Amino acid sequence: MLNNTGSGPALEKMMVQWCEEGAEIARRHHRRTGKLAFKYASEAVTEADGEIENLLRERIGQAFPGDLIVGEEFGGPAVNERPAESRVWQIDPIDGTLNYALGMPNYCISLALLQGDQVLAACIHQPPTGDTFTALAGQGARLNGETMHVSSERDLKDAVVSLQLKKKGLVMQNPALLHEICGAPLRLRRCGAVALEMAWVAAGFCDLLVASFKGEIHAWDIAAGLLLVQEAGGAAVDFQDRPYRLSSPEMMVGSPRVARQMAGLFLSNV
């Protein structure tokens, strides 16, 4: 049984179980999502998104009826409507929905528990591979139950960097800056699922993620990945090399030395 704070390994195990249940729904619909549909004009959505979020809401409500829930599909109380000390679950039922709808494997389920701006627990699950990335605040990060760490890469010119760049974000609006970023690392990758990319950075699969959005980045997109990276020993900073603030539009996470060198490019080009 969990204690009444819902913390520790028992909470981590419960989150993994919930995400694995959601993964069964995702696999059932994969490559059977029908005609491509969009919300907000450009964000893909499928029937599975709603089914998975409803499942997670039900599981959370049963286990922690006093907690608040915010999800990508069905929303939740705004920040100014939440009691100061409330615990809030952030759900992205399918991060990388366009990949998923197109039949590609780069998508995941992302679940995070927050209190204020502090992320207490995180779980990201990739249904096609079965990989599960978890973290508890102050208790490290794990891939499939085994301790994981960010890359030990120290030099940007030898780094593998993942990019999550929106058309109207700072980077895409500055051609000179984009050229500098694309020319500096050894290799570039673009996955199209920011939560999954953050999980891969936390596991050391790649060295750095650079994300540039217009306006805020939703907490359901990045809260889980943020805790994974930090508990795996990684840096989480903005483009000025300052500690990253949740929901800010510019973010870099990964190897501390590589992040610092990339920040130098921003400081000299913005």
Regarding whether 126 and 168 lie in a shared domain, the answer is no
Does any domain span residue 184?
yes
Regarding whether 93 and 211 lie in a shared domain, the answer is no
Regarding whether 227 and 109 lie in a shared domain, the answer is no
CATH classification at residue 175? 3.40.190.80
DSSP character at residue 108: E
Q: What is the pLDDT of residue 41?
A: 55
- Cβ pair 106, 192 in contact under 8 A: yes
- Integer CA distances (angstroms), 265 to 151, 156, 211, 239, 255, in order: 20, 11, 14, 9, 16
**Is residue 35 pLDDT above 70, yes or no?**
no
Q: Give the count of domains, the chain.
A: 2
**Is residue 80 pLDDT above 80, yes or no?**
no
Distance CA 127, CA 243 (A): 31
Regarding whether 167 and 82 lie in a shared domain, the answer is no
Question: What is the mean pLDDT of the segment spanning 82-107?
Answer: 92
Question: pLDDT per residue over 36-48, tens digit each?
Answer: 677 665 678 888 9
Lowest mean pLDDT among 38-42, 55-59, 257-261, 266-270: 38-42
Residue with tokens 């998508």: 107
Does any domain span residue 3?
no
Could you say which of 85, 113, 147 is where a domain stops?
147
**Is residue 235 pLDDT above 70, yes or no?**
yes
| Domain interval for residue 178 | 156-269
CATH classification at residue 72? 3.30.540.10
Question: What is the mean pLDDT of the segment spanning 230-241?
Answer: 96
**Is residue 217 pLDDT above 50, yes or no?**
yes
For residues 85 and 94, which has the higher predicted lDDT (pLDDT)?
Answer: 94
Q: What is the 3-state secondary structure (H, E, C) of 109-155?
A: EEEEEEECCEEEEEEEEECCCCEEEEEECCCCEEECCEECCCCCCCC
Regarding whether 49 and 29 lie in a shared domain, the answer is yes
Distance CA 73, CA 36 (A): 16
**Is residue 3 pLDDT above 50, yes or no?**
no
Q: How many CB atoms lie within 10 A of CB 10?
A: 12
Distance CA 132, CA 27 (A): 15
Question: Among the ranges 173-177, 214-218, 243-247, which has the highest mean pLDDT value?
Answer: 243-247
Q: What is the 3-state secondary structure (H, E, C) of 176-199?
A: HHHHHHHHCCCEEECCCCHHHHHH
Q: Tell me the pLDDT band of 270, cut-offs 50, 70 and 90.
A: low
Question: Which pair of tokens denotes residue 207?
Answer: 């060295």
**Closest Cα to residue 263, out of 247, 249, 248, 252?**
252
**Is residue 185 pLDDT above 90, yes or no?**
no
Could you say which of 147, 165, 200 is where a domain stops?
147
Q: What is the pLDDT of residue 133?
A: 98
Does any domain span residue 4?
no
Regarding whether 79 and 160 lie in a shared domain, the answer is no
DSSP character at residue 156: G
Q: What is the pLDDT of residue 254?
A: 97
